[in-house]
Chains A and B, each alone.
Chain A
């Protein structure tokens, strides 16, 4: 199809570059610089979608962010993008879009039957229809609502595009590059302020691109180009187009989404698709302009009915006619600009002005151009289904209640202007309570809440002269506050023709005997009758009316409908709009893609990955890794065809029989230093610490103030005032914050410092009966006998030229040592241990074997210390001092914590000695009891005991101490298993603890 509605030599698109794209599978041509909307209109296409509820045909209503209709689905470079606005998306070669919310096609949509059943879809029909019977919900109502809900289809594929986040600081952020934005940016930048000027559209200038005005003897477009060129050349100014400031948050933090590649066929290498800017601005000038308000009349949602400013912009920016027989329906001078523009392009419009006798330069000009103008005239109803074909028009009485002389005239589009609504969204988000301005029938920002000012038409200033002057002043004042400079630029002279009067009339009454739908919200199909019904049913608060009718709740968030909705409610209620109030504006101003919000923190990049210095050795030796917090730890080292079960069993067995080595670098390590360190530890841990000698380690448990175990670990006294604390991998960061809290806030009198040393030390645990023999070879000059280095002893020594620290501590329950060297020497240490250990049959073991070893020893870990257990529950009550006070001690006296039937740690063995018990299973007395089956407790950890070669689990169960020897059942509803078990001691292996001391 050729571009029948394209004007010659008008507009700003690049005629040199023809671009082809597909809409609903059909190929069209446009020019570089076109949006999907302008290119389709150029081709005479006006039917692009179906409405949400009634599936009525939908065309184009606006030309920018306010668009309620033209929501399409885009396929770009094998990625799917739902809910894009055709009025914003620029075309590129190969672009493919399709309509949504219609089936099988936009031309023939079966859902349109709803339109003929509309008496069954009144306001709140969801609440009324889908209530009873409850059994209908699952199978009938929910699938129906899901099918009917929403536009577009989200992709379920991983989004391969790159999105970035950027943090920026500036003196002044200006949101919009219309006349007020440009003027204030120029004034502030010339006065030395660091300025960011953000424009949502591809082209700068806002209304200057389309209005017939003169600034400093230049046209609006010329002046825009001059100012932008100068701003771009200044080092203190950042100018961004295709960038929407969508959110105003606390403390002058604003967020802007920059669409960098959306208008290109493919994202370029090294560039993201979109970039989210977090801008901390010293001051903000909101120059987001205003949006034209619709006039409401019968069938005002028919394709071809659109905002008059949009029709003008399609002509002036894109060189496209929205129709060849336009009807202009206006209550103010803005409609005349559009009419004159049509006339200049050889098209004869008819103006229907609701006012009886207005006068201004622009009306005179229209008259001089011989444009047909009818005063006190209105459109009663649009006619035509998929496109406007004609309109019923009528003369209206002075009180605007009676219609006379209804006649039908032919037209192919109806351009409406019901005056302007300032975009106060950002000001409102900043906390600014808006006020109602009677003169313009709209809300404008009130007193500044944060450091923000609103300028231009966003502030309800609709004359260009006042806008420019005010913006120059504000730009200077704000920059002067920051830079304290006084470079003032002179304000140019301004000429414009239109006046800013408007008629308060906005909604055409229904003629007798007619029941046309008059729409307020075009995306959610909310009509005048729906609001009337909601009020009849007793809804009063505007917030309730909004939710009940869904007015303003679509993806356009009511940019064109909110104010008319308020107007209607106040008319019916005999109130004035400010009494009704308005609903709350919340970010984002326009939809933001999830990808942009997430940024680069996706998949592996969503958190840092920490690796031990020995990581590459583990990799080379077939380690299979597991995430432990942000650390990667070897879970097991695979040999041949082994799986997890076989490998971990082999590794654990080798520890019990020979010697194994485990990377324990990930354990949290904290240096505790200072003369009061012992006293501090004594308050932090439940057991006694004052008498620990230098060169000795002790196991400790720390509580939260509520008595729950926070963490456990060993702490070693390195020297008089220096302790080396270890924490579990998971709690390392929390423990450090906890210690800092008490040192800085609760006991500042204690002279102690703490610092994390987790990353400074590489750790290797050597465990098993052969570990002493191995140690002798690693440290030939050190006395490692049971007397020289006893259990819980500490020594420093030299490991083949590298300084090392040796702690005789054990998690596995075997004779064991932990060697720490500086991280840089970690790999060297590991290799030496493997090399020297060869003759003692050393094997590395991973976290799975480590688990097995600790479980069968009954040592507690994270799965027992799960944020619900007190020391007694984990059988740690022996470590709780009765003599001294410590963090959380007072809580242990609470009646719930002293109760005798608390759940307590026990061991569990399946009677058949072969069935593994799933972790998380419930322990119950009677597996056939009526549900809910009273549970005694749960299985916290399971392993295959290598000592006894049968499954073994730890569980925490009611009255655990007295349950040993009982035969009970472990039930796992998830795995559908019921396993007869026997309760045994949690110390399944070496209950006397002989091995660690051997």
Chain B
């Protein structure tokens, strides 16, 4: 069970969180004309990298903040956690 450092609450067990997928996906702006391909990429296509991955976690049984977690998908090592609006290094 992962031990995730919520930037708002501190170290908490994984069972307080819900996984939210790739944090680098950016939603296309509203009212912007975009191609089917671009939209499909946003809705459906995700990379499944082995190694470092910036991902979203929702501290659902805690502060209810969405946070970003930089994690290694194969070793599960967590390098850093960020608030939703924090700049990623």
Contact = CB atoms under 8 A, between A and B. Distances in A.
Contacts of B20: 741
Nearest to B40: A894
Interface residues of B, number: 27
Contacts of B76: 250-251
A253 B43 contact: no
Given A251-B2, A683-B30, A744-B84, A737 B43 contact: no
B28 A745 contact: no
Contact of A706 (B43, B66, B85): B43
Contacts of A866: none
Residue among A278, A737, A893 with max Cβ neighbours from chain B (10 Å): A737
Nearest to B31: A885
Nearest to A756: B64
A705 B1 contact: no
B34 interface: yes
A954 to B, nearest CB: 29
B43 A891 contact: yes
A705 B43 contact: yes
Contacts of A737: 18, 58, 60
Interface string B24-59: 000110110010100100111000000000001010
B85 A748 contact: yes
Nearest to B67: A744
A746 interface: yes
Contact of B84 (A250, A280, A748): A748
Residue among B18, B60, B64 with max Cβ neighbours from chain A (10 Å): B64
Contacts of B3: 250-253, 280
A249 interface: yes
Given A253-B3, A705-B43, A746 B27 contact: yes
A801 to B, nearest CB: 35
Contacts of A705: 27, 42-43
Given A251-B76, A745-B66, A890-B28, A280 B60 contact: no
A511 interface: no
A431 interface: yes
A671 interface: no
B36 A249 contact: no
Nearest to B1: A253
A111 to B, nearest CB: 43
B45 to A, nearest CB: 12
Contacts of A748: 84-85
A249 B13 CA distance: 12
A919 interface: no
Nearest to B38: A890
A740 B66 contact: yes
A670 B60 CA distance: 16
B85 to A, nearest CB: 5
Interface residues of A, number: 26
Contact of A745 (B42, B44, B56, B75): B56
Contacts of A885: 30-31
A610 to B, nearest CB: 16
Contacts of B56: 745
Contacts of A683: 30
Interface string B66-83: 100000000110100000
B60 A890 contact: no
A310 to B, nearest CB: 36
Contacts of B39: 890-891
A890 B34 contact: yes
A795 to B, nearest CB: 32
B42 A741 contact: no
Nearest to B3: A251
B19 to A, nearest CB: 11
Contacts of A745: 56, 66, 84
B17 to A, nearest CB: 11
A753 to B, nearest CB: 11
Interface in A883-898: 884-885, 890-891, 893-894
Given A737-B58, A740-B58, A251 B1 contact: yes
A431 B3 CA distance: 16
A900 B65 CA distance: 42
A449 B72 CA distance: 14
Contacts of B2: 250-251
Interface string A156-172: 00000000000100000
Nearest to A741: B66
A329 B10 CA distance: 57
Contacts of B28: 890
Nearest to B18: A737
Contacts of A891: 39, 43
A253 B2 CA distance: 8
A534 B71 CA distance: 41
B68 to A, nearest CB: 9
Contacts of A746: 27
A201 B79 CA distance: 38
A746 B23 CA distance: 11
B58 A741 contact: yes
Nearest to A890: B39
A744 B58 CA distance: 11
A431 B85 CA distance: 34
Contacts of A252: 3
A275 B36 CA distance: 55
B64 to A, nearest CB: 6
Residue among A431, A740, A744, A884 with max Cβ neighbours from chain B (10 Å): A744
Contacts of B31: 884-885
A894 B42 CA distance: 14
A893 B40 CA distance: 11
Residue among B2, B18, B66, B78 with max Cβ neighbours from chain A (10 Å): B66
A711 B84 CA distance: 25
Given A745-B66, A748-B84, A885-B31, A278 B58 contact: no
Contacts of A893: 36
A894 B43 CA distance: 12
Given A249-B1, A251-B76, A737-B58, A744 B65 contact: yes
Contacts of B44: 706
A884 B31 CA distance: 7
A705 B30 CA distance: 12
A431 to B, nearest CB: 7
A745 B84 CA distance: 6
A250 B58 contact: no
Nearest to A733: B60
A892 to B, nearest CB: 11
A521 to B, nearest CB: 31
B64 A740 contact: yes
A449 B30 CA distance: 46
A885 B58 CA distance: 26
A167 B84 CA distance: 29
B86 to A, nearest CB: 11
A250 B1 contact: yes
Contacts of B84: 744-745, 748
Interface in A597-656: none
Interface in A728-749: 737, 740-741, 744-746, 748
Contacts of B18: 737
Nearest to A706: B43
Contacts of A167: 13
Contact of A431 (B65, B66, B75): B75
Nearest to A891: B43
Nearest to A886: B30
**Complex A-B, nearest 6 residue pairs according to Cβ-Cβ distance, in ascending order:** A251-B3, A885-B30, A744-B84, A885-B31, A250-B76, A744-B66
18 contacts: A249-B1, A252-B3, A253-B1, A253-B3, A253-B13, A278-B1, A449-B75, A683-B30, A705-B43, A706-B44, A737-B18, A741-B20, A741-B58, A744-B84, A745-B66, A745-B84, A890-B34, A894-B36
Interface of A: 167, 249-253, 278, 280, 431, 449, 683, 705-706, 737, 740-741, 744-746, 748, 884-885, 890-891, 893-894
Given A250-B3, A741-B58, 4 more contacts: A737-B58, A740-B58, A741-B66, A745-B66
